[in-house]
Amino acid sequence: MIKKKVAAKKVTKKIKKVVKKKVVKRAKKTSVGFYGASQCSKKRKSRNSIERVPTGIVNLDRIIEGGLEKNSTNLLVGGSGNGKSIFATQFLIEGLRKKEAVLYVSFEEKKTEFYLNMLELGWDLEKAEKDGKFFFLSYTPEKIRTMLEEGGGDIETIVLTKKIKRIAIDSITAFVMLFDRDVEMREKTLALFSLLRSWTCTSLLIYERDPLIDKRESSRILEFEADSLILLYFTRINKERERFLEVYKMRGTDHSTNIFPYRICRGAGVDVSRKPYPGSLHKFQIK
Ligand SMILES: Nc1ncnc2c1ncn2[C@@H]1O[C@H](COP(=O)(O)OP(=O)(O)OP(=O)(O)O)[C@@H](O)[C@H]1O
Ligand SMILES: [Mg+2]
C-alpha cells in the first residue's frame, strides 16, 4: 500500500514537471512586453529612421537612443551651478570631434573666463577657434529680439557662412524675460524656434530654473515648444549635494524615465552614471 502511494506521488511529480515545462515554453513563444506590446525592446538602440546627434555624454546617449534628434531644438533646464554651461560645451566638443563647425552664443559669460574654465576641464576652445571650427559670440537678448523682428544679424551670418551644425545658447532666460505678456513671449519663442530649425542645425538652449523648487510660467511655454527637455537637479541628499539628470521629454524617442546621478570631473566633463538612482527626489520637490 505504502509502495503504491510513493509510486503514485512520483508519477504526479513527473506529470507536473512536464506540464510546467510546456507552460514555460509556450509563455516564451508568445512572450509580450510589460504592457502587452510584443515589439517593446529591452535595449534603447535607435531603430527608427530619426537621425541622431550624439551629445558626447556617453550614458546619456545610451538612454536616448543614441543622441538628440538631428535639427531639433532642445532645452536644458537647471539651477545655478548645475553644470549647464559644461553640458552645452561638451555637446559642442562632440561636434568638433566629428569635424563639425559649432557655435556658442553667450549672454552672460566673458569669453576669456569661459575658455579658462573649460580648459580646466581639458577642452582647449582657443585652439578650436584658431582651427576655424569653434565660434563664440557674446550676445544680448535685445539683439536676438532685433534678429527675429528684422532678420539677419551676426548669429545668422556665422551659422550660414560657417555651416554651423551645432549651436548652444547660454542662456535663453534673459531673452524670455524681455516680454511681459505670455502671448508675446510664446510668439517670440516660436519665432526663435522656427528660425533655429530653418538653419538645419541641432540646438541646445539653456534655461535657468531649479526644477525642484521653481515653477515659472515662462519655462512652461518653452518646455512645451521644445523638442526635448532635459532637467538637471543639484540637491542635498545627506551631508552632500548630489547631481541628477532626467530626460523629461524627447519627441520620437523611447527614452529612459529614470533619474541618473552624474558628476562633473576633469577630462570627462558631465559624467552620467550607468545605473539609475534607486531613490526618489519627490520629497525635495516644492509643489
Ligand atoms: N574643473 C572642474 N572640475 C570639477 N568640477 C568642476 C570644474 N569646473 C566646474 N566644476 C563644477 O561645475 C560647476 C559649474 O558648472 P557650470 O558653469 O557649467 O554651471 P552652470 O549651471 O552653467 O552655472 P551658472 O548658473 O552659474 O551659469 C561648478 O560649480 C563646479 O561644481
Ligand atoms: Mg552657466
For 163-193, what is each residue's pLDDT tens digit?
999 999 998 998 888 888 888 989 999 999 9
- Adjacent-strand bridge partners of 204: 74, 168
Q: Give every CB contact of residue 127 below 8 A, 6+ residues apart in sequence.
A: none
Q: What is the pLDDT of residue 79?
A: 94
Residue range 5-58, pLDDT digits in tens? 666 667 666 766 665 665 455 544 444 445 555 555 555 555 568 899 999 999
25 and 57 belong to one structural domain: no
Residue nearest to atom 18 of ligand 1 (CA): 83
From the CA of 81, how far away is ligand 2's center (Å)? 7
What is the number of structural domains in the chain? 2
User: Is residue 118 located within the same domain as residue 239?
Assistant: yes
Q: Do 263 and 242 contact (CB within 8 A), yes or no?
A: no
When pLDDT is averaged across residues 48-76 and rounded to a whole number, the result is: 95
- What would the pLDDT profile of 74-123 be if each residue is shown by its tens digit? 999 999 999 999 999 999 999 999 999 999 999 877 899 999 999 999 99
Residues within 6 Å of ligand 1 by CB: 78, 80-86, 117, 120-121, 208, 264-266
Round to the nearest angstrom and report the end-to-end CA distance of the chain: 72
Q: Which of 231, 264, 265 to mutate to test the pocket of ligand 1 (most atoms within 8 A of CB)?
A: 264
For ligand 2, the distance from its centroid to the CA atom of residue 117, given in whole angstroms, is 11
Q: Are residues 31 and 61 in the same domain?
A: no
Q: Provide the domain limits for residue 141.
A: 52-284
pLDDT at position 108: 77
Which grid cell sits at 29? 513563444
Residue 227 is given by DSSP the state S
CA separation (Å) from 223 to 25, 46, 76, 94, 231? 46, 24, 9, 24, 11
pLDDT at residue 27, rounded to an integer: 45
Ligand 1 atom with the shortest distance to the CA of 109 = 27
Contacts 24+ apart (CB under 8 A), 111-114: 111/136, 111/138, 114/85
Distance 82 CA to ligand 1 centre (A): 6
Percentage of the residues of the chain whose pLDDT score is greater than 70: 81
Q: Rounded distance, CA 12 to CA 7, Å?
A: 9
- Confidence at residue 15, expressed as pLDDT on a 0 to 100 scale: 62
Q: Which backbone phi and psi does 93 adopt, to 5 degrees?
A: -60, -40
Mean pLDDT of 67-78: 96
Pocket test for ligand 1, best of 77, 84, 113, 240 (most atoms within 8 A of CB): 84
Q: 103 and 171, same structural domain?
A: yes
Q: Whose CA is nearest to atom 29 of ligand 1?
A: 81
DSSP strand pairing (73-78 vs 228-236): parallel
Same domain, 167 and 270: yes
Q: Whose CA is nearest to atom 30 of ligand 1?
A: 81
Q: Under a CB-based contact definition with an 8 Å cutoff, are residues 211 and 182 in contact? A: no
Closest ligand 1 atom to the C-alpha of 266?
A: 3
* Same domain flag for 58 and 27: no
Same domain, 31 and 90: no
Same domain? For 140 and 10 the reply is no
Instruction: Select from 120, 102, 199 the least CA-distant residue to 160.
Output: 199
Judge whether residue 257 has pLDDT over 90.
yes
Residue 64 pLDDT greater than 50, yes or no: yes
DSSP 240: S
Of residues 21 and 1, more confidence is placed in 21
Q: Cα separation of 240 and 39, whole Å? A: 42
- For residue 12, how far is its CA from the centre of ligand 1 (angstroms)? 68
Tally the C-alpha atoms within 13 A of residue 283's C-alpha that lie toward its C-beta: 5
Within this chain, do residues 218 and 234 fall inside the same structural domain, yes or no? Answer: yes
Q: In the numeric block, which cell numbers belong to residue 151?
A: 532678420
Which helix (H) or strand (E) segment holds residue 80: the answer is none
Residue 247 CA to its chain's centroid (Å): 6
Residue 23 and residue 254: Cα distance in Å, rounded? 31
Q: Which atom of ligand 1 is nearest to the CA of 80?
A: 25
Q: What is the CATH number of the domain that holds 153?
A: 3.40.50.300
228-237 tens-digit pLDDT: 999 999 998 8
Please give the full DSSP string across 115-136, using - where no structure is assigned.
HHHHHHTT--HHHHHHTTSEEE
Give the C-alpha distances (Å, rounded to integers) separating 215 from 107, 178, 192, 285. Answer: 22, 18, 22, 11
The DSSP call for residue 277 is P
Q: Which residues does residue 135 pair with via DSSP β-bridges, in sequence order?
A: 103
CA of 141 to the centre of ligand 2 (A): 16
Task: Place 69 in a pLDDT band, splitting at 50, 70 and 90.
Answer: very high
How far, in Å, is the centroid of ligand 2 from the Cα of 206?
Answer: 8
**Model pTM?**
0.85
Looking at the fold, whether 34 and 112 belong to one and the same domain comes out as: no
Query: Ligand 1 centre from 70 Cα, in Å?
Result: 27
Which of 77, 80, 85 has the most ligand 1 atoms within 8 A of CB, as the residue to mutate? 85
Tell whether 223 and 274 lie within a shared domain: yes
Does 122 lie in the same domain as 68?
Answer: yes
pLDDT band at 220 (very low <50, low <70, confident <90, very high): confident
